[in-house]
Amino acid sequence: MVHAVFERDGACVAAARSFVRVVGVGGADRRVLALAHVASSPRARGRGLGAAVVRAAWARLGGGLDDCVFCSGVPAFYERLGAAPLARCDVEYPSASSKRFVDPTMLRVATAEAEPWPPGATIRANGDGW
């Protein structure tokens, strides 16, 4: 797990968390970068710090880690940074107690080397960490 953080005067003004997950998609397991807990202080908004922490997280892509898959309630923000919405898909969870995706839009950022993402595929969330 990696945190990208900007601080000012000892206070956090923007942060993002990224971590590697294995998901099943299209009948095969795929290692993906997950993006979570992206936030910026209301006093620091409009300065590009949110975009900067997201780009810092996405900088982890490459070398076999070719996809970042995440959900968001503000997809336009991520689309401006280069993310593409995934076609509506189902998510299969390993157990009833698994944490659910809560935001309505799934997005993806991929390297040029990434395998194509099957449209409309069910994503199998492996493990209770989701």
Instruction: Give yes or no for a contact between 3 and 35, defined as CB atoms under 8 angstroms apart.
Output: no
Q: What is the pLDDT of residue 113?
A: 94
| Model confidence pLDDT, tens digit, residues 16-51 | 999 998 888 888 889 999 999 898 888 878 889 899
Spans of all domains in the chain? 2-124
Q: Which ranges of the chain does DSSP label H, i.e. alpha helix?
A: 49-58, 75-80
Tell me if the domain spanning 2-124 has CATH number 3.30.360.10: no
Q: What's the pTM?
A: 0.83
| Model confidence pLDDT, tens digit, residues 63-112 | 999 999 998 989 999 999 999 998 766 677 777 776 666 667 889 999 99
